Amino acid sequence: MSNLLVQNIKHTNNTTAQTIDTSGRTTVSIMNNDTTFRSDGGAVTQNLVQGLTKSWINFVGTGTISINDSLNFSSINDEDTGQYALTFTNNMGNANYSIDTHDRNYGGGWSDSNGTSGFDTRRRHENNSYSDASEVWASTHGDLA
């Protein structure tokens, strides 16, 4: 058996494409948006970048609203009772992205006013009145700008 001992894999223009640390972990410097992976059975391929969640957030929706944790959200505004406006850090490529939103108190919610820079989410109680939710979760899938 042969071993190839390397620390960096570089392009011919001398830019580092991959780095291998002392424990053997590989860091890819730039992954193209057309990077594909084979399925578990190997019969089909999937585009990695297209399949990733582009943003997610967990926030407190009662009292003074605040973000517990997030990816690709820069801010959240309390628009009114049970109504919040979320702003992305990095814009989406268009307004045709998918949004999944839930809350601890009432289950599902919905979103509207989708834009490339963010969207609004609404929480409604069974009696059709808007209600603040103690904790709200949302995620998006689609194309980043």
Residues 6+ apart with CB under 8 A from 7: 19, 20
Same structural domain for residues 33 and 95?
no
Q: What is residue 33's predicted lDDT score, i.e. its pLDDT?
A: 67
Give the model's pLDDT for residue 141: 94
Residue 130 lies in a domain: yes
Question: For position 35, what pLDDT does the model report?
Answer: 72
How confident is residue 14, by pLDDT bands cut at 50, 70 and 90? Answer: confident
Note whether 65 and 124 are same-domain residues.
yes
- How confident is residue 105, by pLDDT bands cut at 50, 70 and 90? confident
Kindly report the pTM of this predicted structure: 0.75
Boundaries of domain holding 107: 53-141
73 shares its domain with 124: yes
Dump pLDDT digits (tens) for 57-89. 999 999 999 999 999 999 999 999 999 999 999
Residues 12 and 63 in one domain: no
3-state secondary structure of 78: strand
Same domain, 65 and 131: yes
Same domain, 46 and 65: no
Q: How confident is the model at residue 19 (pLDDT cuts 50, 70, 90)?
A: confident
Query: For residue 3, is it within any domain?
Result: no
CA distances from 141 to 22, 98, 109 (A): 35, 5, 17
- Assigned domain for 89 exists: yes
